[in-house]
Structure formats: structure tokens, C-alpha cells
Amino acid sequence: MKMKLREVYSALKIQRDSIADVEVTGVCFDSRKAKKGDLFFPLQGERDGHEFIDSAIENGVSATIWQSNHDIPNDKIPYVVVKNVSNAFETLAKYYLSKVNPQVVAVTGSNGKTTTKDMIAKVLSTNNNVAKTPSNFNNEIGVPFTILNMPINTEVLVVEMGMDRFGQLDHLSSIANPDISVITMIGEAHIEFFGTRDKIADSKMEITNHLQEDGTFIYNGDEPLLLERAKKVEQDQLTFGSHNTNSLFATNIEAGKTTTKFTTNLWPNLEFEIPMMGQYNVNNALAALLVGQVSHIKPEAMQKALSELFVTENRTEWLKAENGADILSDVYNSNPTAAIEVLNSLKDIKTDRKIIVLGDMLELGEASRELHESLAPYINVEDFSKVYLVGHDMEFLRNKLASKYDSNNLFWYGKDQLADLTKDLKKELKPSDTILLKASHGIHLENVLHDLM
């Protein structure tokens, strides 16, 4: 970003006779991360952002926004008075987006959106100046922030969009007006609020509400809920997934612990490799390949880009236990779809004995018992030697698995029994074992992980 303060006034449609000759080179809303040249937006959070303006000034910001229902400050630095800070934030973002005029790719989904965003950005950067959402800044603050901090020479902007309520994606897509909208999948995230996967799908489809008329909708064609709703979208459409009815599907998948190789129907002689495990990450890569195809990136360039990928956020990581056993850790996030995906991926990996530790999947509402029980078909003796379950609702899964596993290989612990779990695992774990730890963060399996290492 680079604009004079006079241009900020103009973008916000504010008239003022005397305006300081100040250049703004970025925006911030966290005074701790403020830097020279920034325009500070005192957004309302748990505390009023105006409380941190002095801190932002100390860190060197060039100017600040100021909401009119607050006392007008002394002129320590130039300030712009607005009726509503949040509205001004979005208005300036829309103006700057129009000024830079990049191709915009918007990405959402119950799982995989951050990884897919990184894959898309990597693929498109082979032939473009690309900016993308930092980390997972994917809400009403994160999307304008992403836009306002893209360099002036940006040719493609890849924007991640999150969702935890109806209307949120409609609002976010109205800010970005994407040229390409991508939905990675429909899962059970936030089902406690939405109630059903149908309603989650309805809300995810809001990302197409402000898709450009000549834009493209790319989505997971394995999902019937999306196929049904996509019929109402008038723009061009492409699908990805495992079924051969999709525009792009993977063939010859070769799973490893840290890499996955695959070919596709469109480029059968070209083997792609991604530095991560799992069929679900293959699907994320397929989405990125379709975006690349629409953007006229050569297949060989996309192949090279994916092989060199570094993802912003990869919650599933391989670690080593103190005794040398391999640990597949994802102790901060879990839902039924993600759990099934990682179980299937681990099942396909060639290794010695596999042990799984699963903790409660939180925020599933009234469907929690049924969704915990739904993991049972994916947990079998021939794939996983021993199963350790933690938490109130995992007891439902324990009861479902009792017909498959005897009491020497199936264990359940209360949330307050992590010390007992750790003790038992240390007794059982062998150097040649592979062990999975997966749960929602509220179960705190990170404490078990720490003790195993």
C-alpha cells in the first residue's frame, strides 16, 4: 500500500480543507505491531482500540483514524475523523482493491482453506506478483487487512475467508468481489451453531454471491450438497475430487509420511508431489491446479510450485517421541471430517504397529454423540493395534468399538486423567511404533505430547 493522506480522505469521501502531506505505506489495528508509515485503525475488540493510539504513535505510525463519538485528540500526528472505524476500514479496502485491480481468488471451506490458499498462491506466483492472506486472517478484520497491505504491484490476491455464522461469507465476498471462488469441502465445523450440514453448505455458497459475472466457481464435486447448490450459480464451474465425474481428479496416489505423489486425468504423464500427507491434501492441490489452469499457468510450472510448497499452517506434523517412536500430532483441532481424513491417511502409510489417541471433538452440539460414533467404521484392528480415547463424548465411540477391540487394546480416559493416559502410553510405546494424537484443543492433549517427547 502506498497513498497520500489526502487520498485516504478522498476514498472515505471526507471533505477537509487542510490535510497534512503525509504518506501512508500500510495499515495496522494492533498497536504492538505498528510501524513507521502505518495508518492506525482503532478497531473495537474486547477493548476500545482508541485506548491504544498512544502506543501506536510511540511505535511510529504516520496517522490514525479516529471515531467521531470520541473526544478529538491533540495533534500528536495527523488523524482522520470518521463516523465508524470498522466501516471506514472496509471502505478504504474496497477503494484500494479497485485501485490495484488484481485478480481476486477467494477460498473457503470447513477444512483445508489455509493450505489451499497457500497452494493457490504458490501456483499462481510462477507467473504473477501474488499477495495472500497472512496466516489465517480470514474474518471481517482479516480480509480488509489483507487487501490494504498488498503491494501496489500485486497482480493476484488470494484471500482466505472463514465463517462461523450466516451472512458472514456474503459480507466478506462483497468486500473482495472475487474473480474465482473456491470451496474446499463441507464438514461439521460450527455445526453447533448451524445445526445441519445443509445449512453449512448454504452458508459456504455465499462466497459465490459477489463472484464476478465472468468469474469461475471451483468446488469439491464429491460433495452432493455443493453439486445441488451449484446449479443456481450462473458463472463457469469446475470441480475437483476423487470421483472420475469431476473436472479434475487424482490417479495413482502414492502416500508417504511427509509427501504424497499423484497423477491426474488432465495431465496423466505428469506426476505431482506435495510435501504433506493425505488424500485430503491431494484434493486441496487439485483445487489449486484448477485455479492455475483457469489462470493459464503451465502444468509443468504448477508441478514445480507444488513440490516447493511451504504452508502457512500445517497443524498435522510429524514428531519424535523420546524413545524414537514416530508421533503424528494434531492436538489443537479436530472435527469428524478431519479425524476421518487423518485416520485414512495414517492407515495407508507403511509402518510397524500403529496406535491412535483421540480426544473429544468439541462444538458439535446436539449431534455430538452421533458424530463421535461415526468414526467407528474407520477404526479397525487390522489398521490400528491399540486405541486410546479421551473425553466425555469419546466414551460413545469406545462403546461402538467394543465389538472390535478387546479390553487389552481399547482404553478410555476422562478429560482429567491425562496423567494416567501418559503413564500408560509410556509403558506401551515402542521405538518402532507410530502414534497419532488428535483432539480439539480443549482436551489439552498437547500436555501428553510434551510428556512423550
**How do residues 51-104 score in pLDDT, each as one tens digit?**
999 999 999 999 999 999 988 776 788 999 999 999 999 999 999 999 999 999
Averaged pLDDT, 220-248? 96
Higher pLDDT, 377 or 312: 377
Higher pLDDT, 213 or 317: 213
110 is in an annotated binding site: yes
Q: Around 33, how many Cα atoms within 13 Å sit in the side-chain half-sphere?
A: 7
Phi-psi region at 320: left, alpha or beta (left = phi > 0; alpha = psi -120 to 50):
beta
CA distance 308 to 123: 10
Domains by residue range for the chain, with CATH: 3-91 (3.40.1390.10), 102-307 (3.40.1190.10), 317-452 (3.90.190.20)
Q: What is the pLDDT of residues 163-213, one digit of tens each?
A: 888 999 999 999 999 999 999 999 876 666 777 889 999 999 999 999 999
What's at 346, amino acid-wise? L
133 is in an annotated binding site: no
113 is in an annotated binding site: yes
Report the percentage of the chain scoring pLDDT > 90: 79
pLDDT at 34 over 80: yes
Q: Residue 358 — φ and ψ, nearest 5°?
A: -120, 130
pLDDT at 315 over 80: no
pLDDT at 314 over 70: no
Cell of 448: 501428553
Check: CB of residue 227 under 8 Å from CB of residue 221.
yes
Cell of 264: 491426474
257 is in an annotated binding site: no
Check: CB of residue 106 under 8 Å from CB of residue 121.
no
216 is in an annotated binding site: no
Calculate the CA dihedral of residues 15, 18, 23, 26 and round it to 10 degrees: -40
115 is in an annotated binding site: yes
Classify strands 317-320 and 386-390 as parallel, antiparallel or unpaired: unpaired
> pLDDT class for 125, splitting at 50, 70, 90?
very high
Residue 218's pLDDT is what?
Answer: 98
Give, as one character, the DSSP assignment of residue 335: -
324 is in an annotated binding site: no
Residue 333's pLDDT is what?
Answer: 81
Lowest mean pLDDT among 184-188, 288-292, 325-329, 384-388: 184-188
